[in-house]
Amino acid sequence: MVELTTRSPGGVTLPVVEAPRPEDALPKRVTSHASGGRDLWSDPMEEAPGDPEASVIELLHEVLDPELPISLVDLGLIYGVEFDEGRVRVDLTFTATACPCMEFIREDVKDRLTRERWVEAVEIREVWNPPWTRERITRRGREQLRTMGVGV
Amino acid sequence: MSGVEAGLPGMDDAVRTAFRRLLLSLADSKRILGIRYSDWLLGAPSIEAGIAASSMAQDEWGHARLLYASLKDFGDDPVALEHDRQAAEYASMEALDAPFDDWARVIAGAVVVDGALAVALRAVAEGGYEPIEGRISKMLGEEAFHRSLAEAWFRRLAGSEEGARRLKGAVEEWLAPTLRVLAPDDEGHRVLAAAGLTLPAAELRARLAERVSPLLELLSVEMPEPLGLDDWDEGRGRGPGHPAEEAVERARGDLNRALFVE
């Protein structure tokens, strides 16, 4: 487990609750979107990395927030990464309890990671402890936002 | 670590029942409050006011979602809580049963109801029940914006005769039942407070009074006594009645049931 931040003891994750899907519901993925910096994603790695957790974090540096063009890592949303025999678990939070981009972010993280041949499955755990604040944006994230005229 | 490991097994049955009642009451109130705010996305006194109502509606549903999810640790199915309950099962506050008829009611609701919910949440967070502490502090951060908006609007409306009259009607109608839900004098609340998971009723009332009294003074309204328990529904932690069907249909998403996507 790679912890990107210091979590208070007993940091608790939240199960993702999906709406019930009746038999005749629309197919999954009825929408697609171009956010998350997909056009900038690098090609899949040739070989499985020696330190998969560090590589996962590198890959998440390529996934941009759908609203602010900085990475999820620089925005401070990624709380931890764990890799175990092809299965990746990403602990992440959102900037707001009703963040309108939750689904996009989950989809982008899964899509980017599962491009890699050494990643078989991605589990995303929603974490709210400690809560996200603007202080969690990295120095690099702040600089990127500043060059775009967004003050933090 | 799951919430179950974090403390529920050691919890006494009576405490557990009372805690579930409180969390469901908070979740349902936020769910219905979100709908009441959302009615004013358009048609508020200014475009900015409507956008604020829309943001608050969104926050309330975000908070409700987290609170419903936290009830998984109590053996509930959050999906069923959100999508499968009848209006009569909702534990939301009485002040939310009918739509907010005008902007004065939106603001009175934000001060009295949203204020009471914030007081209740803070008391739970202080109780230190780990699985929801972090979530609540995130919610309270968002609630700070609701409070500043509501208080600014309250002062503004109270400055006109008609605004003051309408605010007064709403707060006089809602304060007593809301105080009773926030701080009921019943066994459930007593065991919960004794377990340290919320505060004693008198202290919760004092906190709400401290929060709203400066605003009530503008209307020459005093904090009332909470309603008695004659018609108290102990199971839901509220008085008789329920939110209007139309609101519950929207809360459950009835018309979109066949359209749910991933």
Q: Rounded CA gap, B49 and B214, in Å?
A: 22
If one counts the domains in chain B, the total is 1
Q: Where are the domains of chain A?
A: 41-147
Q: Read off the pLDDT of each residue in A5-25 and give the average, rounded to a whole number.
A: 50
**Contact residues, B window 170-199, toward A, CB-based 8 Å cutoff:** none
> CATH number for the domain including B175?
1.20.1260.10
What is the extent of the structural domain holding B29? 13-259
Is B165 within the bounds of a domain?
Answer: yes
Position B175 in a domain: yes
Write the pLDDT tens digit of every residue in B119-169: 999 999 999 898 888 899 999 999 999 999 999 999 999 999 999 999 999
Is the residue at B107 inside a domain? yes
**Inter-chain touch A19–B253, beta carbons under 8 Å:** yes
Above 70 in pLDDT, residue A4? no
Supply the pLDDT for residue A18: 55
* Contacts with B59 from chain A: Cβ below 8 Å: 96-98
pLDDT band at A32 (very low <50, low <70, confident <90, very high): low
Give a yes or no: residue B149 inside a domain.
yes
> Which residues, 6+ apart, have CB-to-CB distance to A138 below 8 Å?
A73, A74, A76
Instruction: Tell whether B3 is covered by a domain.
Output: no
Asked whether residue A151 carries a pLDDT value surpassing 90, the answer given is: no
Res A30: pLDDT: 44
CA separation for the pair A99, A141 (Å, rounded) = 19
Q: Mutate one of A17, A18, A103, A126 to test the B interface: name it (highest B CB count within 10 A).
A: A17
Provide the number of CB pairs (under 8 Å) joining chain A to chain B.
97
Confidence of residue A39 (pLDDT cuts 50, 70, 90): confident
Q: What is the DSSP string of A34-97?
A: --TTGGGPPPPPSS--SSHHHHHHHHHTTPBPSSSSSBHHHHT-EEEEEEETTEEEEEE--SST
Residue ranges for chain B with pLDDT beneath 50 = 1-6, 262
Q: Which of the pair, A5 or A128, is modelled with greater confidence?
A: A128
- Tell me what pLDDT residue A8 has: 40
Query: Which residues does chain B have within 8 Å of residue A128's beta carbon, measured at their own beta carbons?
Result: 66, 134-135, 138
Could you tell me which residues come within 8 angstroms of residue B21 by beta carbon, excluding any fewer than 6 positions away? B91, B188, B235, B236, B237
Is this complex scored with an ipTM above 0.90?
no
Distance from the Cα of residue B216 to its chain's centroid: 19
Which pTM value belongs to this model? 0.86
Residues of B in contact with A10 (CB under 8 A): 1, 6, 130
Please tell me the distance in Å from B195's CA to the nearest CA on chain A. Answer: 20
pLDDT higher than threshold 50 for residue A7: no
**Beta carbons of B25 and B238 less than 8 angstroms apart:** yes
Mean pLDDT of A18-34: 56
A31 pLDDT above the threshold of 70: no
Q: Which of residues 101-130 of B touch A (CB under 8 A)?
A: 130
Confidence of residue A66 (pLDDT cuts 50, 70, 90): confident
The reply to whether residue B261 touches residue A31, judged by beta carbons under 8 angstroms, is yes
Which CATH superfamily hosts domain A41-147? Fe-S cluster assembly (FSCA) (3.30.300.130)
Q: How confident is the model at residue B74, as a pLDDT?
A: 94
Task: Give me the residue label for tokens 């997909």.
Answer: A38
Report the pLDDT value the prediction gives residue A28, as an integer from 0 to 100: 53
Residue of A10, A98, A103 with shortest CB distance to B58? A98
